[in-house]
Amino acid sequence: MTLALPTRRIEEWKYSDLARVLGDAGFGEDSARALVGPLPHGVEAFSLDEANRPDWVNAHYGKLSTNAVSAVSLAKAQGGIALRVHKNTHVEAPLALDFLGQGHVRALLVLQEGASLTLLERCGGGETRNAGFEIVLGRNARLDHVRVAPNSSAVQVEEISMTLANDAQYRAHFANFGARLSRLELTIALKGEGASVDLSGVSVLSDQSHADITTHVTHEVGQTQSLQLFKNVVGGGAQAVYQGKVTVKPNADGSDSRQTAKALLLGPRAEADLKPELEILADDVKCAHGAAVGDLDADSLFYLKARGIPEKEARHLLLHAFLEDAMACITGPDLRESVRGAVSRALDEVTV
C-alpha cells in the first residue's frame, strides 16, 4: 500500500491542497492522543496503544476507513481510543472526546443494539493532526454528535466513517471556525431499513482560514433517510468548501435524501465552493439538493438600522439568523447554547 497524501489533482481534494500545506514532512510520524471524560455506567473504553485488543475492537477496527488519509493514520497511529456503549444503555449526559497533540490518532465507537449516546467532540490544541474515527451503530442505536473545531493555524484532517443498522439514527452538528487547512470527511453507509442521518453544520471563517466538509452518504437499502444542511459565513480571504455526494443504490426504493448548502460571502476575496451531488441508481426515491451563495439582504439591513441597530450589530444579527436553522437541531439546550456562543464570538471577528 502506498501512503502518499492526495494532491489537488484528485477531484475530491481539489479545494483542499493537503500536499502543499504539509510539504515533504507530511503529517510526520508522531501519534496524537484521544481522551474521554469520565466513563458513564454502561460505557467501556479500551486504549488502542495497549496490547491484546478485545474481540469487539478487532471486529471493527480499521474495517470502515476508506480514504487515502485514513490509510496513513491506520498505518502510523500508535494510540487512540475505542469506546463501546452496551446494549440498551441510554447515556444521559454528553460524553466528551478530545483529540489532542500532534500526529496521527484513531478512534472507534460502537453503539450496540438499542444504545444511545451524546458525544461532544473537541478538536483542541491547534496542532497538525490526522484523525481517523470509525463509528458502528447497531440496530435501533442512536448517536447524537456535536463536533466543535476552534479556529487555529494548524492543518487538521479527520475522516469519520460509519455504518448504520436497521432503525439506527445519527444526528450530528459540525461547527468549524477554520484552520490553515481543515478537512472533515464523512463516509456513511445506511445499511438497514429505517436508518437515518441528520447532518448539519456551520462554518464561520475569517482571514485566510479554510474549512472543508466532504460527505459521502450511501443509501444501501430502501426506507432510509439522509438530511444535510450546511451554512457558511466567509469573510476576509477565507475559503469554505462543501462537497456532498449522496448515492442511492439499486433497489434502495423509498429512500429520502435532502441536501442544502449555503454561503454568505462578506468580501471580494472570500470563496465558497459548494458541490452537492446525487447519484441515483434506484427508481422510487425522493431526493433534492441545492446550493446558494450570496450576500446579506439590503432590505433587512436597512430595516434593522432604521430601528436604531448600528450597522455592525445589524450585520451580526442577520448573519446569526442566517446560520440559525443549521444550529436549531443541535441536541440539548446546553450544547446548542455553547455552539451559538462560539458562533457569536466568531461573527464578531468577521463583522466590521
* Contacts to other proteins by CB under 8 A: 297-300, 302-311, 313-314, 317-318, 320-325
Burial 259-293 (b: 16+ CB within 10 A, else e): bbbbbbbbeeebbbbbbbeeebebeebebebebeb
d(CA 251, CA 97): 37
Q: How far is the CB of 46 from other proteins (least distance, A)?
A: 43
The CB density around residue 14, as the number of other CB atoms within 10 Å, is 15
Which of 28/310 has CB closer to other proteins? 310
> CA 136, CA 162: separation in Å to the nearest integer?
6
E runs forming strands in 112-195:
116-123, 129-137, 142-149, 155-164, 169-176, 181-190
Sheet holding 116-123, edge to edge: 33-36, 95-100, 116-123, 142-149, 169-176, 196-205, 225-234, 256-265, 286-294
Partners of 106 in the β-ladder: 80, 132
| Residue placing its CB nearer to other proteins in the complex, 152 or 203 | 203
Residue 347 CB, nearest distance to other proteins (Å)? 13
Q: How far is the CB of 304 from other proteins (least distance, A)?
A: 8
User: Which H or E run includes 262?
Assistant: strand 256-265
d(CA 265, CA 256): 30
Between the CA atoms of 326, 329, 335 and 340, what dihedral angle is there, to the nearest 10 degrees?
30
- The one-letter code for the residue type at 163 is T
CB of 89 to other proteins, least distance (A): 36
**Nearest to other proteins of 238, 323 (CB atom):** 323
Q: What's the CA gap between 172 and 121, in Å, rounded? A: 11
Q: Closest approach of Cβ 308 to other proteins, in Å?
A: 3
Nearer to other proteins among residue 309 and residue 342 (C-beta): 309
The nearest distance, CB 301 to other proteins, in angstroms, is 9
- How many residues are listed for the chain in this entry? 352
Contact 196, 224 (CB under 8 A): yes
Give the span between the Cα atoms of 171 and 21, in whole angstroms: 32
Helices in the chain by DSSP H: which ranges?
A: 18-22, 55-60, 68-76, 298-306, 311-327, 333-350
Residue 325 C-beta: closest distance to other proteins, Å = 6
CA 291 to chain centre: 18
Cβ 334 to other proteins shortest distance, Å: 19
3-state secondary structure of 23: helix
Q: How far is the CB of 160 from other proteins (least distance, A)?
A: 28
Nearer to other proteins, 77 or 296 (CB): 296
> Of 80 and 201, which has the nearer Cβ to other proteins?
201
Task: Select 25 or 298, whichever has its Cβ closest to other proteins.
Answer: 298
Tell me the one-letter amino acid at 30. Answer: D
If the CB atoms of residues 78 and 344 are measured against other proteins, the closer one turns out to be 344
